[in-house]
Amino acid sequence: MTFGVVVFPGSNCDHDAHHAVTQVLGQPAEFLWHKDTSLRGVDAVVLPGGFSYGDYLRTGAIARFSPVMQAVAAFAAAGGPVLGICNGFQILCEAGLLEGALIRNQQVQFRCEHVHVRVEQIATPFTAACTPGQVLRLPIAHGEGQYVADREVIDRLESNGQVVFRYSAADGRVTDDANVNGSSRSIAGICNPTRNVVGLMPHPERACERVLGSADGLVLFESALGWSGVPRG
């Protein structure tokens, strides 16, 4: 199963994602340049973290108009699995592939630490190998990760099961203290109605090996493998 990792000017977690896929998961990965108009036949797309276009105007606002994003939108519409991590999540929201928006953290601080998230939906390509309610310990590093949307949008996401991750305590309790950036209903990640496009603020690709402090993020990439039916190797 070949993963495509999109590289925008200012992406800085592209190599982390490539490393996680090729060195830990043991699958091929290709970098896709933001000016590419083809995804070159990859089986899954990762929009990595970073500061695409310097976060100018709004996070993800310029990147969404990159040529490659048209190909990503077509891939997503055809049911292809797309994972947006941090800035990638912001880009997916700006592009309208996911609903809502990420604004400045409520505390107006750049938060860089390990947090816990509870898996709320396992019927996605990136959570299929999780157990319902599983708690993952993942790093975050963002200044603009507060998830917001109109109340009716959030109600619809909840009732459709499109909330995929919620910030929680280590035991899985969703509390105000654990809501690291003030996100509406502690939302850390969501998916589209067909559940093949997933975005989240934490960085699973930086938590795939124990030496990095946590290997909990690997399950997202293992899930994609299981989803495609390709054996790990």
Binding of other proteins at residue 108 (CB under 8 A)? yes
Nearest C-alpha neighbor of 139 from the set 86, 202, 187: 202
Question: Given the rule CB under 8 A, which of 148-156, 188-196, 203-211, 214-222 is the region that contacts other proteins?
Answer: 148-156
Closest approach, Cβ 38 to other proteins, in A, equals 25
- Among candidate residues 94, 205, 208, 222, the one labeled active-site is 205
User: Which residues have a Cβ under 8 Å from the Cβ of 75 and sit 6 or more positions away?
Assistant: 39, 45, 82
User: Which residues have a Cβ under 8 Å from the Cβ of 102 and sit 6 or more positions away?
Assistant: 59, 60, 89, 90, 93, 142, 144, 145, 146, 147, 148, 201
Total binding residues for other proteins by CB under 8 A? 20
Closest approach, Cβ 147 to other proteins, in A, equals 11
How many whole angstroms separate alpha carbon 86 and alpha carbon 129?
21
Judged by CB under 8 A, the residue of 12, 24, 30, 58 near other proteins is: 58
Q: Is 152 a catalytic residue?
A: no
Query: Considering beta carbons, is residue 83 or 154 the nearer one to other proteins?
Result: 154
Q: Is 34 a catalytic residue?
A: no
Binding of other proteins at residue 55 (CB under 8 A)? no
Q: Is 203 a catalytic residue?
A: yes
Contact 45, 69 (CB under 8 A): no
Question: Given the rule CB under 8 A, which of 29-37, 55-63, 170-178, 185-193 is the region that contacts other proteins?
Answer: 55-63
Contact 216, 195 (CB under 8 A): no
Q: What letters, b where the CB count within 10 A reaches 16 and e where it falls short, cover 9-48?
A: ebbbbbebbbbbbeebbebebbebebebeebeebbbbbbb
Binding of other proteins at residue 139 (CB under 8 A)? no
- Among candidate residues 18, 116, 142, 203, the one labeled active-site is 203
Binding of other proteins at residue 150 (CB under 8 A)? yes
Binding of other proteins at residue 73 (CB under 8 A)? no
Binding of other proteins at residue 199 (CB under 8 A)? no
Query: Considering beta carbons, is residue 108 or 211 the nearer one to other proteins?
Result: 108
Site residues (CB under 8 A) for other proteins? 57-58, 61, 65, 93-94, 99-101, 103-108, 146, 148-150, 182
Kindly list the catalytic residues.
86, 203, 205
